[in-house]
Amino acid sequence: MESVTDEIEIELTSAAFGGSAIGRVDGQVVFAPFALPRERVRAAITQRKADYFQVEVREILEANPARVAPRCPVFRVCGGCQWQHADYPLQLAMKRSVVVDQLRRIGGFAEAEDLVRDAVGMIDPWGYRNHVRFSLGRKYGDVGFTYRGTRRILRVDACDITHPAIVEVLRTIQRRCAGLRTHQITVRYGCNTGDLLVNPALPAVPELATGQTSLTEELLGRRFVISSAAFFQVNTKRERRPMPSALQGAGRVDGGDGDYSMADLLAACVLARLDAQPDDVVVDAYCGVGTFAALVAPRVRLAIGIEESAAAVRDAERNTADLGNVRFVTAKTEHALAALADERPSAVILDPSRVGCAPATVAALLGLRPRRIVYVSCDPATLARDLRLLCDGGYMVEQVEPIDMFPQTHHIETVTALRWDPSATATSTSQAN
C-alpha cells in the first residue's frame, strides 16, 4: 500500500461490491472501507489508481442514522466481517443495491431495479456459521484468523458470527496445538444433527473427538452426509419464522410458521423457481454432495447430477441411495452438459463457485435450451456476466432473489430464475450508462 499522500472530504452515496462505500471527488471514484452510504467523511488517500482512489476514513463528519457500534472487538482488524457497523436492515438494503448495480453495469440490464427483489434476511443475524477454518500459529499454538490484508495470525477466543458449538471448540483447543504440522484447523458443525467434525486430529486435546472424515446435516427435512472437504451451505441454523409466501409449497414445508434455516429458504427458493413437473429431466450442475438433485428427484422423472470432484460424487451417491431416479456424472460441467442432448433436460440448476460458469457451459446450455434455468450464485459480478450471455442467447430473467447467507459480511447469495424465450433476446440488451 502506498503512503498517505492527501486528505479529502467525501460524500458517500452507495455500497460497492466488496464492502466499501463509494463516493466521487472531482469525478474520481473513491472507495472507503468501513464507511456507509449517506455519510460524509474526512479520509486519507492511501492508493491512487488510474480509475479510482482507495482511502482510509479518519473522521465521520455526518453519520448514517443506521450506523451501529460493532459487536466484535477485532472488527476492522479481522478480515472476516465488513458490515458490523451497519444495522441489519441497512445490510440487506446494501446487498440488494450491489446486485442491482452489478446487473446494470456488468450485465447491461437497464431493468435491473425491477428484476431484483428485496433481500431475505435472518431473524437473528449472529451465531450462524457452521464451518470455520481457523489459522494456527505453530510456535505457540495460537488459534484464530488473520489480520485483514495479511497472513499474520490474529488470535481470537470467540467469533460472533460463528455457531456457539464451534466457539466452544475454539476455546478448548486454544494454545494447545503448538507444533502441529498444519497451518489450519477446520471445524464443522451440523446445526440440526449435533454432528461435529474437527480436522486434523488433535492428539494434544484428548477430551475432544477429532479427525472425523465426515458429518451429517439436514436440509428441508432430508439428511446429507458431507465429507470433510466437501462444500455445503454454511448457514443452517434454524429460526422460528414464517416461510415467505413466494416459497410456499416447495420442499418439505407447509408454508406456515416453522423452523427454517437460510439454507432451507435457499433450497425452497430453488425448488419453487424451478417449477419442476413429473415428467421433467432436471440437471443439477456443479452438484457437490447432491443437495438439489436429492431434493428435486421426488418431483421429476429423472435427476442428473454433474460434479467434477469424485469425492463429492461419492457423497452424492450415498445421499440419494434411497432414490431410484438419480444418477451422477463425474466430469466438468461444460463437458457433461454437451453430452446430454439425448436426455433432453427440461430444467437445469446451476450452482457454480465464485468464478461462475465457463464459456463452454453457457454454450452447452444454449445448445440444449432447457425450458428453465435456476442459477444460484455467490458472486454478483460473474452472475451478471453469465446472465448477459444467456439472455443474448434466448433466455429471459424473470427475477433475482438475494438471500442473506452471510450476515455482517459483504457476501451475497442470489437465486435467479430464467426461462427460454427467444423473442426476448432483444428486450434486455440496452447497455446502462
Which helix (H) or strand (E) segment holds residue 41: the answer is strand 39-48
Quote the CA–CA distance of 233 and 403 in Å, as a whole number. 12
Which helix (H) or strand (E) segment holds residue 12: the answer is strand 6-15
| Cβ neighbours for 74, distance < 8 A, ≥ 6 positions apart | 154, 156
| Cβ neighbours for 43, distance < 8 A, ≥ 6 positions apart | 7, 8, 9, 10, 30, 32, 35, 55, 56, 57, 58
Residue 378 a catalytic site member: yes
Q: What's the distance, Cα to Cα, between the start and end of the chain in Å?
A: 31
Burial of 52 (0-12, 13-18, 19+ CB in 10 A): middle
- Among the listed residues 78, 269, 357, 378, the single catalytic one is 378
Q: For residue 49, what is the DSSP state?
A: -
Report residue 383 as a C-alpha cell. Answer: 452472475
- Among 386, 222, 232, which Cα is nearest to 309's? 232
Report residue 15 as a C-alpha cell. Answer: 455500497
Q: Measured between alpha carbons, how far is residue 276 from residues 25, 32, 271, 372 in Å?
A: 50, 44, 7, 9
Quote the CA–CA distance of 34 and 57 in Å, as a whole number. 8
Q: Annotated active-site positions, please?
A: 378
